[in-house]
Amino acid sequence: MAQRNTFREDEELEESINLHDIARVGKYLKPYISRIVRILAVVVSMSCIVVSVPYLTKIMIDDAIPNKDLGKLAMLA
């Protein structure tokens, strides 16, 4: 007997997602739209902060430490 839908083969989808399905889900999400927007804003903000850390480290290593600028180093630390 052949195995079906194992992890080695993808499952065949018989129906595709259409606009009606998306609209139905949207009705359920509508009361929570402000929370969703706030969460997405926090995620984007945190991503920007995480990306900026290596750049700030570069500035500390390339500019502040060689010039012995303790004020700039303290500001970036």
Q: What is the pLDDT of residues 29-74, one digit of tens each?
A: 999 999 999 999 999 999 999 999 999 999 898 888 888 888 888 8
Residue whose structure tokens are 């009361």: 31
Q: Supply the pTM of this predicted model.
A: 0.56
For 16, 17, 27, the CA distances from 22, given in Å and listed in that order, are 11, 8, 9
Q: How confident is the model at residue 2 (pLDDT cuts 50, 70, 90)?
A: low
Predicted pLDDT of residue 67: 85
Q: For residues 12-16, give the mean pLDDT.
A: 77
Distance of alpha carbon 33 from alpha carbon 21, whole angstroms? 18
Reduced to 3 states (helix: H, G, I; strand: E, B; else coil), residue 8 is coil
Length of the chain: 77
Question: Residue 51's pLDDT is what?
Answer: 94
